[in-house]
Structure 1
Amino acid sequence: MAGKVTIQDIANMCQVSKSSVSRYLNGGYVSEENKEKIKDAIEKTGFSENFFAKRLKTKKTCLIGIVIPRIDSVSVGKLLNGISDVFDANNYTSLIQISNLDSKKEVQCIQSLYQQGVDGIIVDSCGITKKHIEMAGQLDIPLLFTGQKNEYVNYKVIDDYAAGAIMGKYFRNFKHRNVVFLGVSESDESVGIYRKQGFIDAFGDAGTVRFVETDFSFLAAYRKGAEVMKSKPTAVICATDNIALGLMRYFNEQQIKVPQDVSLAGFGGYDISSVMYPRLTTISFDYTLLGQKTALSLLRLINGEEINLQDEIPLKLIERDSVQMAVNEIE
């Protein structure tokens, strides 16, 4: 093969992914079949000499570790798309591990990626603990958190408090007085505390906000339907669009009409929210842009540069069919 051999060239020769070649080079898991293919291709091209010589010279592997909380998430998918855009353009390969919304496993994932020789790690965190802070200070590579923020670590986040405040003001203006906020545990500070508190503060003394706790899953929200309706709210605000979709299923089964019987809104701006019936009022977050800014910031940290923690990610209220003026005001 003429010219400089790259990881992509080896991957193409072996019909495997770039990440498989990177894992092989760094001692990570690769199937026996692919291991033999990659080994053979490296020997034929002399790539290993070029790769390890570069690694020794630059002390960089061009590998990035990414820890995500779950794989079946619209927001995580868009975040990864944005991250991938930047790293692909800069010839970095990503190694991804999944924490399954477990903060202890999240720490284990960080340690595992560090041992594989990555140049830096992005953590889409479900909660920053003392152990996370300790690791950020002890590891000799940069860690950059997203999804959560903490004054002792580097982070890139959406302004959840501001998003909640936009929605609180919106429902206040629509004259709702008895509402339910269907949200998640405060162990998730961004969604469980800041987003909820932003709503409560902006809604102010307009009426009563009752909190019902669920998790991020569609099914859990569906199962909370009866509890949500105990207080006979005129509106329900869900911490995510996915939670709103789960509650909508309950409403449909119970023949509760949206927005005639109860108004409904969410956060996230997922594509499915625009095609459900009725279409869901929501606040749209640009997760792809967040991913791009996060990746660019990590590259700056790898190069020893400072980053701006205050980058703004646009928030957009999308008014659709699922909210109406409170019935008592119409009458």
Structure 2
Amino acid sequence: MKVTIQDIANMVGVSKSTVSRYLNGGYVSEDNMKKISEAVDKTGFRSNYFATRLKSNKSRLIGVIIPRLDSFTAMKILKSMNKRLEEKGYQVIILTSELDKDRELNHMAKLHQQGVDGIIVMAVDITKENIALVNKLSIPILFTGQKNSLVKCIKINDIKAGRILGEHIKSKGHKNIVFLGVAEDDKAVGIERKEGFCQVFKDSDCTINFVETDFSFNKAYEVAKKAISYKPTVVVGATDNIVLGFIRYAFEKGYKIPEDISVAGFGGYDVGLAVHPTITTVWIDYEALGEKAAESIVASIELKELEEDVEIPLELIERESIRNLNK
């Protein structure tokens, strides 16, 4: 009977990913390392595993580099990505860049050295250094979240997402708007999402003021005072998490939402239903993005035809946080 990684995990009482890390030289506690080693020796699994790997010249491992462990978006994408990769017989090695470009590049090189079959990078930016390294490495590499014609990418249509929310807010009669956005280093969210939103108000008598934040709740809370100083009728956050930071500050200062200030965001985060009023948002199907990324990297590894121009679903979810000024 063929012994699997799951069998070893069950014998030892650890997760499948822990056994995988052990087999691939990753960190495992000393206690678990000893127990896994004994189980591997007892079953002869090590020889079976590496014999199969050498015979096929494939590790069945995919490296995934994410920006942060506390990112709602990254976790949504990762969940569906991992599920689809497991269905196709691959296992995931996860590393975090912590939004550090040098760290991201080092992780790409390190994963290649460890023998992964492909790498998926959840990118905040695609730099010339990224492109140079992709051309140097001998395995398929896919970027999600950003787009560059020189490398393989899958991303949402951020300009379209911005237009969707812009059209909705315009239809409610809002003309004094603050856009709480991120730095333009992030081309997709920092430039394209804002650009799509602003396109809707071109040649109108609306005023849009931009206040820079980052993706965190705390930073959005810090800059909320500046946003309110513009006396907006609506504040738009580049993500729902940014909106939450603004809401917290507004509530503390006695503002009512949406009576005094309306708010809206992007992402469709579940927490948007847990606050009052519930947050109007552009829902982004991050799970579909994860599935498509998994299918794309596997297709590249297995030299199969790739689907071009993948469209990730977007949908306006109208809730309670935008006041209709036309009434």
The residue number in structure 2 matching 1:271 is 270
What residue ranges of structure 1 are gaps of 5+ in the alignment?
none
In 2, Cα distance between equivalents of 1:69 and 1:201: 29
The residue number in structure 1 matching 2:166 is 168
In 2, Cα distance between equivalents of 1:165 and 1:76: 23
C-alpha offsets along residues 240-284 of structure 1, whole Å, 9 cap, x if unaligned?
A: 000000000011011111111111100000111012111110000
In 1, Cα distance between equivalents of 2:96 and 2:260: 40
Percent same amino acid at aligned positions?
50
C-alpha offsets along residues 197-226 of structure 1, whole Å, 9 cap, x if unaligned?
A: 000112222311111000000010011111
> Residues 33-52 of structure 1 correspond to what in structure 2 (within 5 A)?
33-52=31-50
Give 1:22 deviation, angstroms.
2.3
Of the three residues 87, 90, 102, the one matched with 1:89 is 87
Judge conservation of contact 1:28–1:116 (CA < 8 Å) in 2. Answer: no
Relative to structure 2, which stretch is displaced further, 36-45 or 269-278? 36-45
Relative to structure 2, which stretch is displaced further, 245-254 or 106-115? 106-115
> Residues 42-191 of structure 1 correspond to what in structure 2 (within 5 A)?
42-191=40-189
Output the TM-score relative to the length of structure 2.
Answer: 0.96
The residue number in structure 2 matching 1:313 is 312
Relative to structure 2, which stretch is displaced further, 243-252 or 11-20? 11-20
Give 1:51 deviation, angstroms.
1.3
In 2, Cα distance between equivalents of 1:91 and 1:84: 10
In 1, Cα distance between equivalents of 2:221 and 2:26: 40
The residue number in structure 1 matching 2:26 is 28
Relative to structure 2, which stretch is displaced further, 272-281 or 301-310? 301-310
Secondary structure in structure 1 of the residue aligned to 2:209: strand
Secondary structure in structure 1 of the residue aligned to 2:160: helix
Secondary structure in structure 1 of the residue aligned to 2:111: helix
The residue number in structure 2 matching 1:240 is 239
In 2, Cα distance between equivalents of 1:314 and 1:285: 6
Secondary structure in structure 1 of the residue aligned to 2:203: helix
Output the TM-score relative to the length of structure 1.
Answer: 0.95
Amino acid at match of 1:251: A
C-alpha offsets along residues 111-156 of structure 1, whole Å, 9 cap, x if unaligned?
A: 2222221111111111111111112111111111111111111111
In 1, Cα distance between equivalents of 2:191 and 2:158: 9
Amino acid at match of 2:233: T
Amino acid at match of 2:261: V
Secondary structure in structure 2 of the residue aligned to 1:256: coil
In 1, Cα distance between equivalents of 2:94 and 2:260: 44
C-alpha offsets along residues 158-199 of structure 1, whole Å, 9 cap, x if unaligned?
A: 111100011111122222111010000000111001100000
Judge conservation of contact 1:154–1:309 (CA < 8 Å) in 2. Answer: no
Secondary structure in structure 2 of the residue aligned to 1:265: strand
In 1, Cα distance between equivalents of 2:296 and 2:82: 13
In 2, Cα distance between equivalents of 1:199 and 1:205: 13
Secondary structure in structure 1 of the residue aligned to 2:214: coil
Give 1:17 deviation, angstroms.
2.3
In 2, Cα distance between equivalents of 1:106 and 1:28: 18
The residue number in structure 2 matching 1:285 is 284
Give 1:77 deviation, angstroms.
1.6
Secondary structure in structure 1 of the residue aligned to 2:74: helix
In 2, Cα distance between equivalents of 1:106 and 1:122: 11
Give 1:24 deviation, angstroms.
2.4
Amino acid at match of 1:296: E
Amino acid at match of 1:125: A
Give 1:16 deviation, angstroms.
2.1
Kindly indicate whether residue 261 of structure 2 is the aligned counterpart of residue 262 of structure 1.
yes
Judge conservation of contact 1:18–1:93 (CA < 8 Å) in 2. Answer: no
C-alpha offsets along residues 281-321 of structure 1, whole Å, 9 cap, x if unaligned?
A: 00001111111111111110110124234111110101111
Aligned length: 326
